């Protein structure tokens, strides 16, 4: 599997040269996420780092919108059609984030059930329940990715001649939406990893050490592979069960972090939307 930006999102983010001192902090955060986008692999750590960066960017955006200089500039702006565009996308982002959080919560519950079933040696049922949910998870994730791609290709509202700061703020707000789409696409592509069929241990090792395929197996797929091979005929069944339990514990810990990251993003999205509504309604 290639890097995320090459596989799931071919467009890049290019910040225009014209800037404004007031937007410096948020543009620094945007550039950090731009660097992350082109270097991140499909791992739980990369997903979490993207969510943390996106949250920090929304915090900077809130600071920008509450600057007295920004408030004054926006109060004098007559053309506010661009606000509806950004607010509409913010609502849709909240829906996508909420659905993604629910997927994570359901996945964690399925992992816990699987661990319990493995301890009671009800292996056949373990595989059936977990695999059924993984198929649903993959389908739901792909549906959300389609929604994000639709948002990404929508035409933006043409803005009449405005103050330089207002122009910079509009540009930054749109860039925040663009990179937010990129981050959430990565999260969902991570969730929609292939549901692996049983393969040999050495086949998996070969894939992991092959230089051209470094990112081909993430934590979810790795657990799927271990589960698929768990009940194949052969010796050392107890050892394989212990190995599977370890994989699931690691996966559960990763998803705990991702869930916390999504919770923070959800709160950031609500604050950002509320801030923009307050700024516009007060003037």
What pTM did the predictor assign?
Answer: 0.80
Distance between CA 178 and CA 168 in Å, rounded?
Answer: 15
Domain boundaries along the sequence of the chain: 23-194+257-281
Question: Token digits for 60?
Answer: 């900077």
E strands within the chain? Answer: none
**Per-residue pLDDT for 108 more than 60?**
yes
Q: Does the pLDDT of residue 16 top 90, yes or no?
A: no
Alpha carbon distance 208, 219 (integer Å): 12
Residue whose tokens read 């829906």:
95
Q: Check whether 101 has a pLDDT greater than 50.
A: yes
- The full DSSP string for 48-108 is HHHHHHHHHHHHHHHHHHTSHHHHHHHHT----HHHHHHHHHHHHHHHHHHHHHHHHHHHH
pLDDT digits (tens, 9 = 90+) for 2-11: 334 434 444 4
pLDDT digits (tens, 9 = 90+) for 127-157: 788 888 999 999 999 999 999 999 999 888 8
Taking the C-alpha atoms of residue 54 and residue 32, their distance in angstroms, rounded to an integer, is 10
């Amino acid at each position: 599997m290639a890097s995320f930006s090459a596989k799931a999102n071919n467009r890049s983010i290019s910040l225009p040269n014209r800037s404004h001192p007031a937007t410096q902090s948020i543009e620094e955060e945007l550039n950090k996420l731009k660097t992350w986008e082109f270097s991140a692999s499909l791992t739980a750590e990369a997903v979490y780092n993207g969510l943390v960066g996106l949250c920090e960017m929304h915090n900077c955006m809130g600071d920008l919108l509450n600057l007295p200089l920004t408030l004054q500039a926006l109060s004098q702006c007559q053309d506010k059609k661009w606000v509806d565009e950004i607010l509409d996308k913010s609502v849709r982002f909240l829906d996508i984030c909420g659905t993604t959080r629910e997927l994570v919560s359901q996945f964690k519950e399925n992992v816990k059930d699987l661990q319990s079933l493995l301890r009671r040696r009800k292996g056949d049922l373990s595989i059936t329940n977990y695999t059924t949910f993984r198929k649903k998870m993959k389908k739901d994730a792909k549906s959300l990715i389609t929604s994000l791609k639709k948002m990404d290709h929508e035409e933006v509202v043409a803005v009449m001649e405005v103050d330089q700061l207002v122009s910079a703020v509009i540009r930054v707000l749109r860039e925040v939406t663009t990179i937010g789409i990129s981050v959430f696409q990565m999260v969902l592509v991570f969730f929609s990893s292939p549901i692996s069929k049983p393969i040999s241990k050495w086949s998996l090792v070969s894939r992991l050490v092959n230089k051209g395929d470094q990112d081909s197996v993430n934590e979810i797929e790795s657990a799927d592979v271990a589960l698929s091979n768990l009940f194949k005929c052969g010796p050392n069944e107890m050892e394989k069960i212990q190995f599977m339990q370890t994989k699931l514990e690691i996966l559960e810990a990763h998803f705990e972090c991702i869930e916390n990251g999504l919770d923070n993003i959800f709160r950031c999205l609500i604050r950002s939307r509320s801030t923009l509504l307050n700024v516009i309604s007060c003037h």
